[in-house]
A and B are shown apart, each in its own frame.
Chain A
Amino acid sequence: MNWSWETFFDALPLVASGLGITIGLTIASYLFALIFGFVWVFLRRIPFKPISWTVTWIMEFIRSTPPLVQLFFIYFAWPVVPYVGMTLDPFTSAVLGLGLHFSTYIGEVYRSGIEGVDKGQWEASTALNYSLYDKWTKIILPQAVPPTIPMLGNYLIILFKEVPLASTIGVVGILHMAQSYGSQYWAYLEPLTIVGILFLILSYPSAILISKLEKRMNRRFDKKAALSSTQKGTVV
């Protein structure tokens, strides 16, 4: 065993200093995904087959190809795309890449929430002659949103664990810090262990919180299996 506490405490401040970036990137890409998720839902609801069909397959494409490659595409390839291309810094590239990838999952969550609203509710709101705006804000969304909250929380945790991918394009989060410490002193064991511990400390309690939340929601909305099936794993 070649474990050294000295190295551990030497590396700790440096590695931990990347925490701000890691968490910042998580939040930024999550917000991007939350917003862009709506775009997918909206596009898919366009009642013109070729469009909704194309959108469905684009989502499928983004979802079933590696986010790592997508990050490289945005970081390396986007700048050389003529006219629309532009050079993006690593952080922005990562926000776009991870955000876009996760937006396809978030879009599905929104959709399941909307489809989970009883059909009678739509008919009732039409029968009561609500305006389109009122129908959505007063009837549909108040019912569609709460059950999706645990799922959205789950995806936040999953996204958090995908964020270190961004170190490969130079985002200096905790993994990047650990790697640079490692290559500098040729000591990877302790800094990488610190990274693992930091992830565990942050994600494990959140996961417990989310599952508590989910149980409570399920009791309230009485929709057991249907929604908790998104206790899904990772997205990489």
Chain B
Amino acid sequence: MFLQSLRKPDWVSFPSKYKGVIKINVIAEVFPDLMRGLGVTVSVLIASAFFGYLMAFIAGLCRLSNNIVLRKFTGFYIEVFRGTSLIVQLFWLYYAVPMLFGIELGSNWWIGVIAIALNYGAYMSEIVRGSILAVAKGQTEAATALNMSSFQRMRLIILPQAVRMMLPEFGNYLIQMLKATSLVYLIGLNDIFYYGNILRSNDLSMAPTVYLLVLLFYFILALPLIFLVRKAESISKKGVAS
């Protein structure tokens, strides 16, 4: 619908000086090409979000464990991954790990997913930890008074409340992860950005149109997430602390 309105004749016959900025008729050509990368972008996003959240919970809970070794080790993981850049980690996994251990990590798709998941897992583990600590102390005490085990307290009382607090930040990080997926182009995955770059290298004059369209793709993917965050914010305001 959007594209059709753009293809109206009066749009196309803009004064020629505008034509170079965004080549309207080029959009129709470029669009299907970029679509071919959509699957990779979205699948990398979904997988790294899944493993990233998983990692966040594992690391966040380990940080709260009574076992000091586990706590220190997890702390080390978190600081290393938060202290260096995603792009460095990605290259490290891609170039250095095979050299270090003489093993291949499997497909590049997996390398991208692992890098993003480990990086964002480290950041988000702090949210998990913070939210769990933020659940009122009285909640644990009430659960203890009902003779719940420490596992039951966590599962039935603490986590359901903590997760609500995590939602908005988790949503924000989902948008960050979407942006991060563009890096997988650098390790040879054929995502949206990859196809954009192919088009650009074929014909440099198309570059503005192509990159704007690529950005638009990402933005359209981000839009539902932006609204999701707003929704999550309103949910998390409800249902915590009595």
Name A residues whose Cβ lies closer than 8 Å to a Cβ of B. Answer: 1-3, 60-61, 64-70, 72-73, 76-78, 80-83, 161-165, 167-168, 175, 179, 182, 187-189, 192-193, 195-196, 199-200, 203-204, 207, 231-236
Interface string of B179-222 (1 = CB under 8 A from A): 11111011000000100110010001101101110110011001
Q: Is B96 interfacial (CB 8 A cutoff)?
A: yes
Q: Do the beta carbons of A193 and B92 come within 8 Å of each other?
A: yes
A-B contact pairs, 14 of them (CB 8 A): A64-B175, A66-B182, A66-B193, A67-B179, A68-B183, A69-B214, A72-B196, A72-B211, A73-B215, A76-B200, A168-B186, A188-B96, A207-B82, A234-B86
The residues of B that contact A168 with a CB separation of less than 8 Å are 186
In the bound complex, how far is the Cα of B210 from the Cα of A72, in angstroms? 11
Q: Do the beta carbons of A83 and B88 come within 8 Å of each other?
A: no
CB distance from A199 to the nearest CB of B (A): 4
Q: Do the beta carbons of B87 and A164 come within 8 Å of each other?
A: yes
Q: Is B176 interfacial (CB 8 A cutoff)?
A: yes
CB distance from B109 to the nearest CB of A (A): 18
Q: Is the interface of B mostly helix, strand, loop or mixed?
A: helix
Starting from the known contacts A66-B193, A69-B218, A164-B88, 20 additional A-B residue pairs (CB-CB under 8 Å) come to: A64-B219, A66-B179, A66-B182, A70-B215, A72-B196, A77-B200, A80-B20, A80-B207, A81-B208, A82-B17, A161-B84, A165-B87, A167-B87, A175-B88, A179-B91, A188-B95, A189-B96, A199-B83, A234-B176, A235-B179
Which of A69, A77, A207 touches B193 (beta carbons < 8 Å)? A69
The residues of B that contact A189 with a CB separation of less than 8 Å are 95-96, 99-100
Determine the residue in chain A with the shortest Cβ distance to B180.
A236
In the bound complex, how far is the Cα of B90 from the Cα of A175, in angstroms? 12
Given A64-B175, A80-B208, also A204-B100 (CB < 8 A): no
Q: Is B173 interfacial (CB 8 A cutoff)?
A: yes
Determine the residue in chain B with the shortest Cβ distance to A165.
B87
Q: Do the beta carbons of B196 and A81 come within 8 Å of each other?
A: no
In the bound complex, how far is the Cα of B204 from the Cα of A73, in angstroms? 11
Q: Is B239 interfacial (CB 8 A cutoff)?
A: no
The residues of B that contact A167 with a CB separation of less than 8 Å are 87
Chain B interface size band reads 35 or more
CB distance from A113 to the nearest CB of B (A): 20
Q: Is B157 interfacial (CB 8 A cutoff)?
A: no
Q: Do the beta carbons of A65 and B219 come within 8 Å of each other?
A: yes
Determine the residue in chain A with the shortest Cβ distance to B208.
A77
Kindly specify which of B63-71, B118-126, B148-156 makes contact with the partner chain: B118-126
In the bound complex, how far is the Cα of B185 from the Cα of A165, in angstroms? 12
In the bound complex, how far is the Cα of B155 from the Cα of A236, in angstroms? 33
Determine the residue in chain B with the shortest Cβ distance to A186.
B99
Within 8 A of A (CB), among B157-187: 172-173, 175-176, 178-183, 185-186
Given A65-B179, A80-B205, A234-B119, also A204-B173 (CB < 8 A): no
Given A1-B101, A73-B212, A82-B17, also A164-B222 (CB < 8 A): no
CB distance from B1 to the nearest CB of A (A): 19
Given A1-B101, A69-B193, also A234-B123 (CB < 8 A): yes
Determine the residue in chain B with the shortest Cβ distance to A228.
B130
The residues of A that contact B102 with a CB separation of less than 8 Å are 2
